[in-house]
Amino acid sequence: MTHNPRVEHAVEALCHRGCRAVWEIIDTLERGGTLPETTGLGAADVSVVVAELRAIMAVYATRCPTPD
């Protein structure tokens, strides 16, 4: 996990939405979209959020696979 409190807060808040929602969130952020939890974060920080979410979701790959 990063040591940036704003990024950590965004990752934690987004994870509370549930695993299926996180896949949609990753897709949204990768397409340049914004979410309330990422408002005010720069592009580099949003990239870190996406990377953190992908790393977290890798742990749940068998229980919550990537949607088709």
* pLDDT band at 1; cut points 50, 70, 90: low
Cβ neighbours around 29 below 10 Å, total: 21
Q: How far apart are CA 43 and CA 17, in angstroms?
A: 22
* Per-residue pLDDT, 45: 97
**34 or 2: which leads in pLDDT:** 34
Domain chopping of the chain, boundaries: 5-59
* Per-residue pLDDT, 41: 96
pLDDT (tens digit, 9 = 90+) per residue, 14-62? 999 998 999 999 999 999 999 999 999 999 999 999 999 999 999 987 7
Question: What does pTM read for this prediction?
Answer: 0.89
Quote the tokens at residue 7: 């990024």
Q: Which of 61, 57, 63, 59 is nearest to 22 (CA)?
A: 57
Q: What is the DSSP letter of 37?
A: G
